[in-house]
Amino acid sequence: MPGVVTSLDKMFCSRCGDGFEPHEKIVNSNGELWHTQCFVCAQCFSIFPDGTFYEFEGRKYCEHDFHVLFAPCCGKCGEFVIGRVIKAMNANWHPKCFRCEECGKELADLGFIRHQGQALCHDCRALARAAGTGKHICHKCHGVIDDKPLRFRGEVYHPYHFNCTACQVELTSDAREVKSREGLTANEVNELYCLRCHDKMGIPICGACRRPIEERVVTALGKHWHVEHFVCAKCEKPFLGHRHYEKKGLAYCETHYHQLFGNLCFVCNQVIGGDVFTALNKAWCVHHFACSVCDQKMNQKTKFYELDLKPVCKKCYDKFPAEFRRRLRKAHEATPKKVSA
């Protein structure tokens, strides 16, 4: 064909400038001719595997050297980023690797906010900002709640996002959550009522959490309680049907009631059910009142002495050195005390 050079005499290698031998394999790339041994990576001079190469500014590179020289590394996984690159937080990222550091959402298309050196989605940024001010974030609009929040289904909201189920008035933080009368199944639905409509329903309010009591009610101290909220004023453990003791408007378990207001044995720390020995400003079970030295049991007729606020029988006391006994008598007036039943 006119204008087409078919003679090897007019064909030269683009790298070495030499001609080609008859029947020699020739590489043609973008109109340039190469010996197969000359068609190599501009960096490592290796032949391209399977003929695959990457070109940059007129020079050809194998895949490895192209990545090393020109492809950025992901700030999370450390692998080369080929294709779409996310540049943020002074680093490069795969789109799937650039995520919120709190909830894990992909940020490539959502956008992000930098907060204390972290990339956060808008929702997590709002939560972090609220935590810094000690305020809540509305579960519906994700805005900061400046006043008291409305708690509904385990989350917090601006109260004005809801209306009373009965009268449709806009709710406040005093709204009450009540199980739907039509939904007491596995898929039960809760509803919100204003305080006025809720009071008309006659549902008791827990004296501890101030929330409606829908199931078992404990009535004590002139109030109603959730079972798990009726607890000992000292140890704060629920009574769960066990006996409680009342004192000055508070409820106590048996142990702490007797510890605070009754008699617990100085030795076994149990409530003294029978006769009580009182000595040295302490209470004792009958069978636990004994000499602190020889452990000999004593009764109301036994003479004893005080040593470090503990009783010592006369036999053990007489074995003490004379000078030590003299000091004890001087400190405690050396008057033996009898136990009273």
DSSP 95-106: TTT-B-TTT--B
pLDDT digits (tens, 9 = 90+) for 109-134: 888 888 878 888 887 877 777 766 66
φ/ψ (deg, to 5) at 144: -70, 135
Q: Which residues are paired to 252 by β-bridges?
A: 245
The answer on pLDDT for 286 being more than 50 is: yes
| Gap between the Cα atoms of 157 and 2, Å rounded | 82
pLDDT digits (tens, 9 = 90+) for 146-200: 778 888 877 888 888 888 988 988 888 878 877 765 444 444 567 888 878 877 7
Residue 189: the pLDDT is 63
The answer on pLDDT for 4 being more than 50 is: no
Span 94-115, mean pLDDT? 86
pLDDT band at 20 (very low <50, low <70, confident <90, very high): confident
Biggest CA-to-CA distance, the chain: 140
List, in order of start, the domains of the chain with CATH numbers: 137-179+188-202 (2.10.110.10), 203-261 (2.10.110.10), 264-335 (2.10.110.10)
Residue 180: the pLDDT is 60
Residue 191: the pLDDT is 82
Written as one letter, the residue type at 276 is V
pLDDT digits (tens, 9 = 90+) for 227-283: 999 999 999 999 988 888 888 889 988 788 877 876 778 888 777 766 778 777 788
pLDDT band at 102 (very low <50, low <70, confident <90, very high): confident
Q: In this structure, are residues 285 and 272 in contact, taking their beta carbons and an 8 Å threshold?
A: yes
Instruction: 252-258: list long-range contacts, CB under 8 Å, 24+ apart.
Output: 256/232
More confident: 308 or 231: 231
| Gap between the Cα atoms of 275 and 270, Å rounded | 13
The answer on pLDDT for 338 being more than 70 is: no
Question: How far, CA to CA in Å, does 134 sit from each of 1, 130, 145, 148, 209?
Answer: 84, 6, 10, 12, 21
Tokens of 291: 């000499």
Q: What percent of the chain has pLDDT over 70?
A: 89
3-state secondary structure of 310: strand
3-state secondary structure of 194: coil
The answer on pLDDT for 8 being more than 70 is: no
The pairing of beta strand 155-157 with beta strand 176-179:
unpaired
Residue 232: the pLDDT is 93
| Gap between the Cα atoms of 103 and 105, Å rounded | 6
Residue 335: the pLDDT is 52
Mean pLDDT of the chain: 80
The pTM for the full model equals 0.32
